[in-house]
Amino acid sequence: MKTTLRPGLGELVPGIRAITDRGLGRRETAFAVAGLLRDGLPPLDILTEEERAGSPDGYVSRVLHAQDAFSVVAVVWRPGQDTVIHDHVSWCAFGVLSGVEHETLYRDMGDHLLEIGRADNRPGEVSGFAPPGDIHQVRNTSAEVGVSIHVYGADVSRLGSSVRRVYDLPVRASSAASRS
């Protein structure tokens, strides 16, 4: 049975499928999918105007495509909206379509989290990561609604979320992070 893909995913989904079928490790898969996104990030109009509006209640994740090996999710953030500190069930590659996603990275030290870095991801920028070591918090720091495309190495429509764990530990800044 052939599935109809949302406009804008016609080349992306088969490309992701070809990468996941190669049986690479998690990091290698995340980086390969990030490369695919870098070469063909979908346009902002992959979402309708209503979908791009987001919600005043918090950021919105919308599953655009899901199958056993991966899911393509659009995340919409109004200015100032953010996630809790969390990690993921699988590898992830993402690309920013609009807004600025400010990401703070952490390391679990057992009794606290150590801030280990920060990055501002701007429109057109793409990255990938894989657990372990994927503890982060993301905030839209721009004055416009942010939209990003995330590809997770799991069927998030079945799992309900890409989040594995939420962290509620005290945070300490590393000396390097506090200088930035």
Confidence of residue 133 (pLDDT cuts 50, 70, 90): confident
Give yes or no for residue 1 having a pLDDT over 50: no
**180 pLDDT exceeds 70?**
no
- Say what the pTM is: 0.90
- Find out whether 147 and 98 touch, Cβ atoms under 8 Å: yes
Q: Kindly list the strands in the beta sheet with 146-152, ordered across the sheet, starting from the edge strand earlier in the chain.
A: 60-66, 71-77, 146-152, 92-98, 126-129
Report the C-alpha gap between 75 and 142 in whole angstroms: 15
Q: What is the pLDDT of residues 58-67, one digit of tens each?
A: 999 999 999 9
Identify the H or E element spanning 27. Answer: helix 26-39
140-166 pLDDT per residue, tens = 999 999 999 999 999 998 887 787 888
Structural domains of the chain, with CATH: 12-179 (2.60.120.10)
